[in-house]
Structure 1
Amino acid sequence: MLVQLTVSNFAIVRFLELEFSRGLTAITGETGAGKSIAIDALGLCLGERSEASMVRPGADKCEVAARFDVSALPLAQAWLKDNELDDEQQCILRRTVTSEGRSRAFINGQPVPLSQLKQLGERLVNVHGQHAHHALLKPDHQLVLLDQYAGHKSLQEEVRSAWRAQKALRQELSELQSTEAQRDARRQLLEYQVQELDQFALEEGEFEKIEAEHHRQANAANLISESGQCLAVLCEDDQLNVSDMLRQVTDRLGRLQGDDAALEPIVATLFDAAALLDDASHELSRYQQRLEIDPESFAQLEERLSSAINLGRKHKIPTHELPALHQQLAEELKTLTDSDDRLAALEAEVAKAQQDYLACAQRLSQSRERHGKALAKAVQKVVRELALPHAQFDIDIAFDAQAPGAGNGLDKVQMLVSTNPGQPLAAMAKVASGGELSRIGLALQVLTSKQEQTPTLIFDEVDVGISGPTAAVVGKLLRSLGEHSQVMCVTHLPQVAGQGHQQLRVTKKTQKDSTETLMEALSGDQRIDELARLLGGDVITEATRANARELLAQ
């Protein structure tokens, strides 16, 4: 609930610091004194639009701070925690506006965007303005009030969830259907390309191997000739070869090493060289024996190499990338085939999601029917007490399973009223006068607000056009609401103000060319005098004081 409101240099307010309590707080004052100014300042603190004109003339900026006790508000606590703005059990909202119109917002001392201020404000305060009853003429708002009274949030969330699921599936189905022709054409092309690549079946790294083998066979004759000549030089030439010459050198130095031990490592190295030369000669001999000229094998290699190169050109990629392209196209073809399967499955899923949505919407509609009867009965009872003794009130709920549907269900809600005997029930816009609509709206606001989880409710002159015994009933309604919520009511009616658990008076002080609005809490004789003023005007008499005491006693 709202605990404290501090206002500095806002409009014609120089400085205000107000403490608030539970129950019904009545705010009164003379016409033009600015009874709603504290509500306007609080609205700024809750994220309402700011203007440079809000800054008191002569001041650089205005500032409004509101402190709330959120110890019993799990929704507000959860929001603060989720946004990393929590500060134990209290919550301070602050807003500043400069004379140039620049605005800044803070929650628990941390700067925040205006959107966050609004989100948190919706969990803390609900303001009912004096023109709120005009919204009653809109069926959408009538549905909101009924759902608020019913309090079936879990059913509403089920419907929203089912609607979102159905909408997502329908969108996916629509996208698949809209691209079906393109997918068919693409699939046909892919089937041909993948089949061609399947038949050629070029493996990863195979092209490089084919290319190397083709090059080797193309040079087979030269390899055979050159390797034979080299082999002859190494060991096969009868007249002169490297192997014989190395043995001769090794033998001669071997005979000399007895004369000089320094030759021993040289001889050993030559022995090793001779052994390595023999190994190389044997390897070269085996290599030459394997070499052969095979025209048929070469022709096959040349054909596969040429086909691979042509296939790469066809797909406009380097030939060695064909295996990767093959895998990519095969995967795309599988995806398209899966899409066709998904299309068939989606049609079944959409049908099931529609049935699930209809079932949820029907359960919500049944709850609306049940609570609609209770709300209509309660509204009719209250409205009859508000000087409309013959009033009848009903709520028509029409469920349309064939409607396009929405996140709030398939119901069309219309509130019907008759204010005179013999007059049939009809839509409020066609029957109710301005005063009647104001009273019906007040009854609905009070009855539906009892179900709100918002802890602080503000009624800004919602009792306009009401007086006498009707005003007394309004006062009792607001006080009953204040028994379990924090309620603030800006009023000009003594019957309403007298029902307040506490009362604040707004006055306007003018000095030379300066005007200032002040607000103070009343107690004892102060409150009696304020009620007497509301009852009798500027002249306060013992009779009006007696009437004021009687109001408070009631």
Structure 2
Amino acid sequence: MLNQLTVQNFAIVQFLTLEFKRGMTTITGETGAGKSIAIDALGLCLGERADANMVRNGNEKAEISAHFTLQDTPQARLWLNNNDLENTDAINECFLRRTINKEGRSRAYINATPVPLSQLKSLGQLLVNIHGQHAHQSLLKSNIQLSILDEYADHHTLLQKVKDTYQGWHFLNKQLEQQRLNQQEKQARKQLLEYQIEELDAFSLAQGEFEQIEEEHKRLANSDALIETCQKGLDQLCDNDDVDVLSLLRNSVCALEKLADNDKNLENIVTTLQEALIQIEEASYDLRHFSENLEQDPEKFIQLENRMSEALSLSRKHQVSAQQLYSQHQKLKKEFKQLNNNDEQIQQLEKERHIAKNNYAKYAQKLSLSRLRYAKDLSQKISESIQQLNMRDGLFHINLQKNETQSMSPLGLDHVEFQVKTNAGQTLQNLVKIASGGELSRISLAMQVIISQRVAIPTLIFDEVDAGISGATASVVGKLLRRLGEKTQIFCVTHLPQVAGNGHQQMFVEKKSKGNSTNTTMVNLNKAQRINELARLLGADNITERTLANAQELLVQD
């Protein structure tokens, strides 16, 4: 429930503090006095769009704060708890504040904690429901009609299921479309890869093979020089009949070994020479073995040269080095496999999309059946209500059809049409075609009252929703709103004395000008003041005893 509203430097309000009570509060005043300013300010405090023009001329910023009690609002308390925004000093109280500077930038606070505007708006929807003066015009739109039915049926959870399954289907559908768009390009790439891989498969180059070919090719290319050099080296080391390195070294070792017995200083030298002798013998053995295994194989050389040439040709074609040709082959095979997997991905996406569509259809069908059931109930209640509002032969009907040809949407597959019969002898027709402005206002008001009784929001605001209504109908409207005010807090901006007189309390809005400054004020009226205000609303140029008596009759006493 809204306890207090403080408005500072907002539009033509300099400063205003309003205390509110339970029940129905009517707000009246001269035309143009600013009866809706408090509602506009509250709307801003609940997260509505801010504008620099809202700041009073000559001031740096506007500030609006609202104080709510939450004893009867468990959903709001839960929301605050879930978002760590509870008022730790008083758990059943909540303070909202909004500031706007002259540049149009705004800040929002919940219980003195700065919050994004989205959070302020989310909480505000649990605290106050504002029915604007042009709400009956939006009633002609099909999407608004559908949302009214869903709100009455409390379809929030079911609608979320439909939206979630729709989003799942929509996401998969987009993925599938993208995969198919790329399919032609991928198919061309796949054909090229298939040709390249077949060519590389046929060549069948093993890992590290090119390096081996290159090494063996080099050896065969230089085999004559290698054989000649090896023979010469063997001759110098050990095969010369006259003199060679091994013979000379053996002789030196033998001679020095004999002398080492006489001089111990020669022992290290002898040891070194003996080691050198062993190494030369081993080197000679290895050189002989190498020389014996050298071959001159022109046929093999040609084979190696041809394979190396083909490898170099393929490497140029694939724009890699010959050493990278094997890894390029593996890379192409991996890409080809992935493209094959892409076909499988499309098949899998088609299966998943089919499942998602079935899930959507399940919840959409459940939503349709629920809408149909509540449409009958709401139609009957609205019919009864508008008949009470001096449309005695009025009949309201919600025509709900499941459109099988309609594309899937996050709101389901239903098409809704509000139909009405306003006079005897007429047939039901679309609301757009038959209802006058006054009739539309009464139908809209009946809906808002009926839906408000089902929605657990503690404060309801009706901003001139009685426009186009007068006489006996206005009296019925006033009584209807008063009965609703017995259960919840109601604010009603009105110009009708029959409605204003039904309020549990009444506030008067007045605009005053002084020099170049204009200021709007709002005050609570006592009983005598209310009677005078009702008399003014009755349209009397001069308030007489008779006018005051009529006004007193309109004032409903507690």
Range into which the TM-score falls when normalised by the shorter chain: 0.7 to 0.9
Residues 244 and 11 (structure 1 numbering): CA distance in 2 closer, same or farther, change over 3 Å?
same
Quick one: percent identity of the two aligned structures?
46
What per-residue deviation string (whole Å, max 9, x for no partner) do you get for residues 78-135 of structure 1?
A: 58956x8776556654433333x33122334566665565555445543211011001
Take 1:247 and 1:214, find their aligned partners in 2: how far apart are those partners? 39
Take 2:206 and 2:77, find their aligned partners in 1: how far apart are those partners? 63
* Equivalent in 240, 244, 251 of residue 241 of structure 1: 244
Take 2:507 and 2:269, find their aligned partners in 1: how far apart are those partners? 119
Residue 221 (structure 1) aligned with residue 224 (structure 2): yes
1:166 counterpart residue number: 169
Take 1:91 and 1:203, find their aligned partners in 2: how far apart are those partners? 77
Take 2:273 and 2:22, find their aligned partners in 1: how far apart are those partners? 111
Q: What's the CA shift for 1:45?
A: 3.2
1:194 counterpart residue number: 197
Q: Which moved more, 1:109-118 or 1:274-283?
A: 109-118
Is contact 1:528–1:548 with CA below 8 Å preserved after alignment? no
Q: Please, which runs of 5 or more residues in structure 1 have no aligned partner?
A: none
TM-score, reference length from structure 1: 0.87
1:51 counterpart residue number: 51
Q: Which moved more, 1:45-54 or 1:388-397?
A: 45-54
Residues 438 and 326 (structure 1 numbering): CA distance in 2 closer, same or farther, change over 3 Å?
same
1:458 counterpart residue number: 461
2:42 counterpart residue number: 42
Take 1:533 and 1:262, find their aligned partners in 2: how far apart are those partners? 141
Is contact 1:475–1:499 with CA below 8 Å preserved after alignment? yes
Amino acid at match of 1:218: A
Amino acid at match of 2:527: I
Amino acid at match of 1:48: E
Take 2:475 and 2:296, find their aligned partners in 1: how far apart are those partners? 119
Amino acid at match of 2:532: R
SS in structure 2 opposite 1:377?
A: helix
Take 2:518 and 2:257, find their aligned partners in 1: how far apart are those partners? 128
Matches within 5 A, 1:201-280: 201-280=204-283
Q: Which moved more, 1:439-448 or 1:118-127?
A: 118-127
Take 1:78 and 1:215, find their aligned partners in 2: how far apart are those partners? 82
Is contact 2:498–2:554 with CA below 8 Å preserved after alignment? no
* Equivalent in 423, 438, 442 of residue 439 of structure 1: 442
Q: What's the CA shift for 1:408?
A: 1.1
Amino acid at match of 2:302: A
What per-residue deviation string (whole Å, max 9, x for no partner) do you get for residues 49-94 of structure 1?
A: 4333322222222222345567845478658956x87765566544
Q: What's the CA shift for 1:353?
A: 4.3
1:425 counterpart residue number: 428
1:102 counterpart residue number: 104
1:531 counterpart residue number: 530
Matches within 5 A, 1:10-409: 10-20=10-20, 23-67=23-67, 72=73, 74=75, 78=79, 92-99=95-102, 101-108=103-110, 117-118=120-121, 121-122=124-125, 124-344=127-347, 346-347=349-350, 349-409=352-412
Q: Which moved more, 1:33-42 or 1:228-237?
A: 228-237
Amino acid at match of 1:107: Y
| Coordinate RMSD, CA, aligned | 3.4
What per-residue deviation string (whole Å, max 9, x for no partner) do you get for residues 10-30 of structure 1?
A: 111112233445554433334
Residues 206 and 486 (structure 1 numbering): CA distance in 2 closer, same or farther, change over 3 Å?
farther
Residues 136 and 232 (structure 1 numbering): CA distance in 2 closer, same or farther, change over 3 Å?
same
Q: Which moved more, 1:203-212 or 1:114-123?
A: 114-123
Is contact 2:501–2:554 with CA below 8 Å preserved after alignment? no
Take 2:318 and 2:457, find their aligned partners in 1: how far apart are those partners? 66
Take 1:203 and 1:167, find their aligned partners in 2: how far apart are those partners? 48
Q: What's the CA shift for 1:193?
A: 1.8
Take 1:214 and 1:23, find their aligned partners in 2: how far apart are those partners? 104
Amino acid at match of 1:12: I
Take 2:486 and 2:265, find their aligned partners in 1: how far apart are those partners? 119
Take 1:296 and 1:23, find their aligned partners in 2: how far apart are those partners? 111
Residues 107 and 229 (structure 1 numbering): CA distance in 2 closer, same or farther, change over 3 Å?
farther
Q: Which moved more, 1:314-323 or 1:387-396?
A: 314-323
Take 1:38 and 1:308, find their aligned partners in 2: how far apart are those partners? 86
Take 1:17 and 1:238, find their aligned partners in 2: how far apart are those partners? 128
Amino acid at match of 1:217: L
Is contact 2:68–2:94 with CA below 8 Å preserved after alignment? yes
Q: Which moved more, 1:174-183 or 1:205-214?
A: 174-183
Amino acid at match of 2:206: E
TM-score, reference length from structure 2: 0.86
Amino acid at match of 2:528: D
Take 1:386 and 1:186, find their aligned partners in 2: how far apart are those partners? 73
Is contact 2:77–2:86 with CA below 8 Å preserved after alignment? no
Q: Which moved more, 1:133-142 or 1:103-112?
A: 103-112
Is contact 1:76–1:120 with CA below 8 Å preserved after alignment? no
